[in-house]
């Protein structure tokens, strides 16, 4: 399907964006950005843009603010949403690339945003398709957001930094490739530090082995919402075990190098390696 991606124009379209936020995160979501704030964001150099279907329906949107971070002008991408029936078709990536192009034309060189490390779909998009880098892990970044999607999981987040003009990002955008470790089996990428296999070969979270060294992997479920619905306790364990692993290894100089989904088992892993200064 063809989409027109452009800035939202006027109150009526900003209200469509508000309603899509409610549809995405639930009627109980307490953090929807109202039309008045969307208008202010656009007036002050931020971005509120939508992807419109030919008949005018808002299929998705991206919203962010521009300011200062680490002493330089940067953009924070606060929200991105795509209607459920249109996901996994590249529209989220197209919205992000529109945002990137707009910022480059404005002279902004870096974009930041956050996402839940337990959401495999977003990990693949952010790390593999867009080439963003994990800047930090923040525990309970947003507190209680009043959304059923976050219930039982909290709001731990990776903060990403996207160098908008880097050669690697340019190459990913130009060739539309997936960045991954080619010609390596899972065993070559280091041990999995935070899970074990149950009798039915389903990965179960467990307290991470913090003594592992060298390249290593931190596993997450292929679908955290499905895992949470099957067992609320499992959802909480996935959070606590991955939190400990990420906080420990990132504090020891490790960096997230990529994300891998095994095409046979559908198991999902973050790849971590020690950064040598």
Query: What is the C-alpha separation between 76 and 111, in angstroms, rounded?
Result: 6
Average pLDDT over residues 79-106: 94
Average pLDDT, the chain: 91
Domains of the chain: 4-175 (3.40.630.30), 186-274 (no CATH)
Q: Does the structure show a pLDDT above 70 at 260?
A: yes
Average pLDDT over residues 159-174: 90
- What is the structure's pLDDT at 180? 45
Residue 181 has pLDDT above 90, yes or no: no
pLDDT at site 148: 59
- Mapped onto helix, strand or coil, the DSSP state of residue 19 is helix
What is the per-residue pLDDT across 215-241, written as a single tens digit (0 to 9) for each?
Answer: 999 999 999 999 998 888 999 999 999
pLDDT score, position 12: 97
Helix (H) or strand (E) holding 114: strand 110-115
Q: How confident is the model at residue 183 (pLDDT cuts 50, 70, 90)?
A: very low
- Within 10 Å of residue 142's Cβ, how many Cβ atoms? 14
Q: What is the pLDDT of residue 102?
A: 97
Give the model's confidence band at 252: pLDDT under 50 very low, under 70 low, under 90 confident, else very high: very high
Could you give the percent of the chain with pLDDT greater than 70?
92
Q: How confident is the model at residue 275 (pLDDT cuts 50, 70, 90)?
A: confident
* pLDDT computed for residue 199 by the predictor: 73
Burial degree of 255 (CB within 10 A; 0-12, 13-18, 19+):
middle
Cβ 88 vs Cβ 190: under 8 Å: no
Contact 6, 47 (CB under 8 A): no
170 CB neighbour count, 10 Å cutoff = 13
So what's the pLDDT on residue 105? 96
Count the neighbouring beta carbons within 10 Å of the beta carbon of residue 82: 22
Distances (CA, A) of 37 to 17, 40, 49, 63, 239: 12, 5, 14, 11, 32
Lowest mean per-residue pLDDT among 110-119, 193-202, 211-220, 255-264 = 193-202
Which of the four pLDDT bands, split at 50, 70 and 90, describes residue 80? very high
Confidence of residue 168 (pLDDT cuts 50, 70, 90): confident
The pLDDT value given to residue 232? 87
By the 8 A CB rule, do 254 and 275 touch? yes
Grade residue 88 by pLDDT with cuts at 50, 70 and 90.
Answer: confident
Tokens 């508000």 belong to residue: 18
Report the chain's terminal Cα–Cα distance, integer Å.
46
pTM comes to 0.89
């Amino acid at each position: 399907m063809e989409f027109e991606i452009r800035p939202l124009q006027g109150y009526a379209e900003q209200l469509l964006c508000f309603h899509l936020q409610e549809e995405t995160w639930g009627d109980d979501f307490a953090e929807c950005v109202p039309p008045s704030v969307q208008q202010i964001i656009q007036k002050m150099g931020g971005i509120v843009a939508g992807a419109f279907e030919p008949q005018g329906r808002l299929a998705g949107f991206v919203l962010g603010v521009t300011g200062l971070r680490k002493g330089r002008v940067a953009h924070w991408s606060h929200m991105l949403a795509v209607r459920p029936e249109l996901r996994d078709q590249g529209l989220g990536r197209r919205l992000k690339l529109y945002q990137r192009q707009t910022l480059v034309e404005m002279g902004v060189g870096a974009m930041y945003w956050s996402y839940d490390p337990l959401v495999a779909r977003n990990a693949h998009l952010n790390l593999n398709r867009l080439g963003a880098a994990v800047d930090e892990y923040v525990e309970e970044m947003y507190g209680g957001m009043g959304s059923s999607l976050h219930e039982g999981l909290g709001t731990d987040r990776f903060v990403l930094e996207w160098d908008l003009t880097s050669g690697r990002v340019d190459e990913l955008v130009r060739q539309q490739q997936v960045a991954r470790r080619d010609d390596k089996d899972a065993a070559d990428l280091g041990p999995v530090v935070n899970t074990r296999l149950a009798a039915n070969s389903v990965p179960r979270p467990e307290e991470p082995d913090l003594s592992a060294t060298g390249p290593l992997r931190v596993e997450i479920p292929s679908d955290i919402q499905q895992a949470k619905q099957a067992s609320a306790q499992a959802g909480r364990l996935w959070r606590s075990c991955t939190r400990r692993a990420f906080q420990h290894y990132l504090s020891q100089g490790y960096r997230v190098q990529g994300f891998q989904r095994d095409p046979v088992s559908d198991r999902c892993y973050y790849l971590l390696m020690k950064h040598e200064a």
